[in-house]
Amino acid sequence: MKMTFRWFGENDDSVTLDQIRQIPGVTGVVGFLSDIPAGELWPLDRIMEYKKNIEAHGLELEVIESVNVHEDIKLGLPSRDKYIENYKETIKNLSKAGVKVICYNFMPVFDWLRTDLAMKLPDGSEAMDYDDAKLKGMDPVKLVEDTTKNSNGFTLPGWEPERLKELKRVVELYKDVDEEKLFENYKYFLEGIIPTCEKYDVKMAVHPDDPAWGIFGLPRIVHSKENLDRIVKLVDSPYNGLCLCSGALGCERKNNIPEIIRHFGAMGRIHFGHVRNIKFVGERHFHEVSHLSSDGDFDMFEIMKAYHDIGFEGYIRPDHGRMLWGEKARPGYGLYDRALGVAYLNGLWEALNKTSK
Ligand SMILES: [Mn+2]
């Protein structure tokens, strides 16, 4: 297991590389060129400059999150071929910089969703909340406006303004795309890029839908063990793998995370793990908490044990953290709570190592 930490770059993150390198056990950052719109090529010189800075701070850049998939690919429009070519070129460039894993998602229009970005917890910290009943009464355009307005001045990953300015038009286009059609479009994309991944030794890791069900009548397919089974077989290559996000996949209660880790781990298809905890409030209503088992509804020991049992050698990072100690950061991506998450997950891992001998 290699412990990593997500970082958005010098101009788009309140957390610095100097701070990240002081978190015990973190060997690398999970990087992102946040100013490049979905579908555009990532230029090699930009990637190299970004990597150089990270390495100058004693950290590695082996994982990218995310290279966003252009909407036309998900919609299956004729223009998708151009964007798939760009994606292949980006894979090649990232490989030249030593990147081993690319995390991405295949969610139509919206990336992750929450109905409250700063819900006060009893201890005074703030966490993100999702309430499906509340979402049902919301207009998608209003939700985007509220989400971007309440993000402490940072663009939210997957919520880049240029990607969402044509929101209404894009939502309209999905009227002709059901889940089967989305699977077809997904297969076309994977058939396009996986040979390049194999050639340049870069593994793809799809992040599950967050939350793990359809929203606003849009199709979503990356949210159950059955569908993940189907996805890894769309192109049956070890390069077509998963980013197993415990919080995203686990908010659907029927998804048993340790069991899913064991299942896909045995197949060698988990390349990246996001490990975090959530607390269920009601039916399709949950909020985020610290990483500690007793603060939420997941057994974090069992999750880490599942990774340990499969002999996981891929990348892990703590996922969303709360805002605490007065920090102002991008929602979910402050320094303190994620650093506490790293320390805790490393503690579980050390105990697993020592007791399994
Ligand atoms: Mn995640």
Can you give the CATH number for the domain in which 159 is found? Answer: 3.20.20.150
**Distance separating alpha carbons of residues 312 and 99, to the nearest angstrom:** 18
Q: Is 274 a catalytic residue?
A: yes
Instruction: State residue 148's pLDDT score.
Output: 74
pLDDT above 70: residue 161: no
Tokens 């500690």 belong to 292
Q: Where are the alpha helices (DSSP H) in 155-295?
A: 161-164, 167-173, 179-200, 225-234, 246-250, 257-266
**Distance separating alpha carbons of residues 115 and 105, to the nearest angstrom:** 20
pLDDT above 80: residue 188: yes
Q: Is 13 a catalytic residue?
A: no
Q: By C-alpha distance, which of 281, 301, 182 is closest to 230?
A: 182
Q: What's the 83 CA to ligand 1 centre distance in angstroms? A: 24
Q: What's the 320 CA to ligand 1 centre distance in angstroms? A: 7
**Distance separating alpha carbons of residues 311 and 262, to the nearest angstrom:** 10
Q: Is 245 a catalytic residue?
A: yes
Q: Is 207 a catalytic residue?
A: yes
Instruction: Please compute the mean of the pLDDT values over residues 223-246 and round it to a whole number.
Output: 97
Q: Is the CA virtual torsion 269, 54, 336, 134 positive or negative?
A: negative
Q: What's the 147 CA to ligand 1 centre distance in angstroms? A: 18
Say how many domains are in the chain. 1
Catalytic residue among 103, 197, 243, 245: 245
Q: What's the 191 CA to ligand 1 centre distance in angstroms? A: 25
Q: How confident is the model at residue 163 (pLDDT cuts 50, 70, 90)?
A: low
Share of the chain above pLDDT 90, in %: 81
Q: pTM of the prediction?
A: 0.94
pLDDT above 60: residue 114: yes
Catalytic residue among 70, 271, 274, 308: 274
Sheet holding 116-120, edge to edge: 116-120, 126-131, 285-288, 278-282
| Per-residue pLDDT reduced to its tens digit, 38-78 | 999 999 999 999 999 999 999 999 999 999 999 999 999 99
**Distance separating alpha carbons of residues 189 and 147, to the nearest angstrom:** 29
Instruction: State residue 155's pLDDT score.
Output: 61
Instruction: State residue 123's pLDDT score.
Output: 95
For residue 163, what are the domain limits? 2-355
Question: In DSSP terms, which residues pair with 60 in a beta bridge?
Answer: 28
Tokens 């039916």 belong to 283
| Per-residue pLDDT reduced to its tens digit, 280-327 | 999 899 999 999 999 999 999 999 999 999 999 999 999 999 999 999
